[in-house]
Structure 1
Amino acid sequence: METSDLRIALFSGNYNYTRDGANQALNRLVGSLLGKGAAVRVYSPTVEKPDFEPTGDLIGLPNVRMPVKGRGEYRLPLGLGGKVSRDLLKFQPNIVHLSSPDPSGHAALRWAQDHDIPVLASVHTRFETYPRYYKLAFLEPVIVGILRRFYNRCDALVAPSHSMIDELLAMKMHDDIGLWTRGVDRTVFSSERRDMEWRRSIGLADDDVAIVFLGRLVMEKGLDVFAETIVQLRRRQIPHKVLVIGDGPARGWFEEALPGGIFAGFKTGAELGRALASGDVFFNPSVTETFGNVTLEAMACGLPVVAAGATGASSLVNEGVTGRLVALKGKKGAEAPDSEGLAEAIAPYCTDPGLRMAHGAAGEDRSREYSWEAINSIVADTYIRLIEDRRALQAAEAAVEAAA
């Protein structure tokens, strides 16, 4: 079987209406598959003015605004509905790919099982950790149970880092889990994009050390830990500036927590590459990510990385070579990096330019290992394996029936 024989029905909770790392990876995957002759149909909530144009054919799913405070820009898919069910029958996929365990993902899984079609699920975020950021940590075991049932009904999973695979295996989410890591666009992210004039235009002096946050400004990205760490650095009188790249519903909270911080706003493409490369140290306190696209992008821009020693970053950052990983503390289900430990890790980069440059250069070298084309071929190969395994099982069952 060849990639050109694939007919993929891909379900996403957010394919293009709000830009994030997960849907950037999905759009790149679809582009790669289409380029090799595969047929792809994407099913996701649609809005009147999405953040970007989708790659491939996009069919809207029934949905409502996410009923969670601070997440109103996201949509909750509500199942398939008659239109989507008819479209699936007409499209006749030979593989179903689920990228979010939402109600539409559950419905698509049931549809695939009813039609004897194999299912691959990709894991993009630590959904079970989200409640702790909304004072609902008691729900975490319930969500783990729901996720375990969902993922174990799929034929296989792919996850973006070895550390996330280990976590999924430990939680008994599945025993067939492959690695679908992430790539980085080196035409956008490179140390060569550093722009001193742009730095000066936003208030950074040439000798300022800018500690960078990059991402959506939502609490589950560890904004509280970031702010607490900056407070620790200020108490120690470590010279630095804060550069925040991104926007989101928690921006007001973050601005109040970081007086004097430089908020550059939302950036994409060449502007994002320039802004990131114009920083000096990348700080990622998040424990919710399965890979950490922003961490890889910062490495490609030549920035040393200080990150929480959680899934994603622990597979990217080479401790003491490309940056620092700070261990998590706290009870199971509420682990977080310690702000004092994070400040301790960041401080030397603020005062030692030689260390900063050496670890940044090592990170940029490591980022060159991540090629999108090779990475996406792994997913196509997994589709083919699952289809061929299913066909072999169907043939064996038919042979048994014929012999009976």
Structure 2
Amino acid sequence: MKIAIVTDAWRPQTNGVVKTLSTTAEGLRTLGHDVRIIEPNQFKTFPCPTYPEIRLAWLPYGRVSQLLEEFGPDAIHIATEGTLGAAARKWCLRRRFPFTTSYHTQFPEYVRARVPIPLAVSYAHLRRFHSAAARTMVATPAMQRLLESRGFKNIVRWTRGVDVSLFKPRDKSFLDFPRPIATYVGRVAVEKNIEAFLKLDLPGTKVIVGDGPARAELESKYPTAKFVGFKYGEELASHVAASDVFVFPSRTDTFGLVLLEAMACGVPVAAYPVTGPIDVVTQGVTGELNEDLRAAALAALKLDPNQCRAYALANTWETATRQFLSHLAPRAATAAVAESALDSA
């Protein structure tokens, strides 16, 4: 099957959305499918307001139309709600071509963290965007419940996986800092609530792996924390595995791939009991969830690393990719259903 995936988030961005989509595309190709990614590097772009590291495609409809028509997809998945996602949605609606979407980011909460726009306004826009999709894929039961409470329809589950051959227990001596080492991995941005972690009175060392618009300010404000920037592949896995506890202060993530990656390394998680962690962390086994993040971090240090690893081994990317594939709305299959309905009418 020829599958087009349209996304406003792509390399060189480093985040869970890019990781999920790139890994899924690789998995689909392994299963024998022809996958085409339509992403910002194929267009003229402009910096996203308040987040210049993210580039958005400028007036992309004509080019999106050309790329889709040249590829001739059997199924189209629109992964994000940016300018590319909007252009692909418009193309599909004009041609009555069925498509699926996914909800990766709590965009209304991210916007409100920067601009005082009411959540109801942002959710109304997103509800309209996704309402035309055959199905909207979300990562967790909690995210499904949240969107359904906001009036979203046709929500289905698309879970996530982890590369357990890369993320695995490793030598703790890789990081030569006073222990215990508490680590955060991800974008260094206001919506990630990193300062809640940096403010904690914890023994040992705090390590921040990642970069973003808030890094300079936070690095200056918290000079004892170790800001090491983005890390990739073996180096990233080594940083995570050398930690003693993984602290995840975000209250707005829909999943948090880094949680599974930490567990795969045998590192327990400390987080708030919110969407994302509540569906990924097994309380008292693979991590601790508590509104008191300090208490969660100290309690997580006492958990069994082997239990964390065992949980991660049950979450593979192959399973997640097959789930994604089962939710697509291929044009031929949709047309066949419509034709059958007409014949029986």
Is this a same-fold pair by TM over 0.5? yes
Deviation at 1:364, TM superposition (A): 1.5
**Alpha-carbon spacing, 1:385–1:90, altered in 2? closer, same or farther (3 Å):** closer
Deviation at 1:385, TM superposition (A): 6.9
Deviation sequence 1:283-325 (CA, Å, 0-9, x none): 1010221110111111111111111212111111111222111
Q: Does 1:220 align with 2:165?
A: no
State the alpha-carbon separation in 1 of the partners of residues 137 and 332 from structure 2: 15
State the alpha-carbon separation in 2 of the partners of residues 222 and 296 from structure 1: 19
Q: Does 1:346 align with 2:291?
A: no
Deviation at 1:399, TM superposition (A): 7.0
Which amino acid in 1 is paired with 2:172?
D
Number of corresponding residues: 345
> Who is 1:177 aligned against?
155
> Who is 2:327 aligned against?
382
> Who is 2:24 aligned against?
29
Give 5+ residue unaligned stretches, structure 2.
none
Deviation at 1:152, TM superposition (A): 1.1
Alignment of structure 1 residues 3-402 onto 2, 5 Å: 6-46=1-41, 60-68=42-50, 71-134=51-114, 136-174=115-153, 176-191=154-169, 193-196=170-173, 198-200=174-176, 204-205=177-178, 208-228=179-199, 230=200, 233=201, 238-327=202-291, 341-349=292-300, 355-356=302-303, 358=304, 360-383=305-328, 388-397=333-342
Asked whether the equivalents of residues 80 and 108 of structure 1 are also in contact (C-alpha less than 8 Å), the reply is no
Deviation at 1:115, TM superposition (A): 1.6
Deviation sequence 1:159-214 (CA, Å, 0-9, x none): 1112211211111222x2222111111121111x2331x222xxx14xx1011111
Asked whether the equivalents of residues 271 and 296 of structure 2 are also in contact (C-alpha less than 8 Å), the reply is no
Q: What TM-score, normalized by structure 1, do the two folds share? A: 0.80
| Percent identity over paired residues | 30
After TM superposition, where is structure 1 displaced by more than 4 Å over at least 4 residues in a row? 384-387
Give 5+ residue unaligned stretches, structure 1.
1-5, 47-59, 328-340
Asked whether the equivalents of residues 74 and 331 of structure 2 are also in contact (C-alpha less than 8 Å), the reply is no
Task: State which drifts further: 258-267 or 152-161.
Answer: 258-267
Deviation sequence 1:120-141 (CA, Å, 0-9, x none): 101111111112322x243322
State the alpha-carbon separation in 1 of the partners of residues 276 and 296 from structure 2: 18
Q: What is the RMSD of the two structures over their aligned residues, measured on CA atoms?
A: 2.0
Asked whether the equivalents of residues 62 and 81 of structure 1 are also in contact (C-alpha less than 8 Å), the reply is no
Deviation sequence 1:60-94 (CA, Å, 0-9, x none): 144311122xx111012344332331232222222
State the alpha-carbon separation in 2 of the partners of residues 390 and 151 from structure 1: 21
Task: State which drifts further: 30-39 or 91-100.
Answer: 30-39
State the alpha-carbon separation in 1 of the partners of residues 63 and 36 from structure 2: 14
Larger Rg: 1
Q: What TM-score, normalized by structure 2, do the two folds share? A: 0.93
